[in-house]
Structure formats: C-alpha cells, structure tokens
Amino acid sequence: MPLTMSDTGNPVTIRKIGGKEETRKFLENLGFVAGEVVTVISDIGGNMIVNVKDSRVAIGKDLAGKIIV
C-alpha cells in the first residue's frame, strides 16, 4: 500500500519506491530507501510529516503515494 494509507504513529517498512528516476533519486536523498522503517507523524492538508532515519521530513501526498510500504 502507499505511504498515504499508513496510520499515523504506526512504524512501517518501505518495500519499494515508484515514479520516475529523478523522483526516486530525490526520495533516496531524503532517506526513503527500501528496507527503511518510517513513521507518519502527521497528515495535514495534503502534506505529511514523516520520521525517517531519526529526522522529520515534510513531503506532499503526491510523493508519499510513490512510497510503497
């Protein structure tokens, strides 16, 4: 399922990153790689705050939809 469907506060493991090559590289640079555990901290108004690799990252739902958990 995409990260956008994940429950807030529930740690999930990334299975795959979809999208174009530049999108995958961008997300990889933010720390979103297969096998990494991420937690959705908040989901407000089309944006998500996600805890990944001991950092909080804000991403839009369009990018979060490309992260398969």
Residue-wise pLDDT tens digits, 9-68? 999 999 999 999 999 999 999 999 999 999 999 998 889 999 999 899 999 999 999 999
Domain extent, residue 8, equals: 3-68
Q: How many domains does the chain have?
A: 1
Residue 27 belongs to domain with CATH number: 2.30.30.90
- Per-residue burial over 26-39, b if 16 or more Cβ lie within 10 Å, else e, is bbeebbbeeeeebb
- Are 2 and 68 spatial neighbours (Cβ–Cβ below 8 Å)? yes
4-12 mean pLDDT: 93
Work out the number of other CB atoms within 10 angstroms of the CB of residue 14. 19
Query: What's the CA gap between 39 and 14, in Å, rounded?
Result: 10
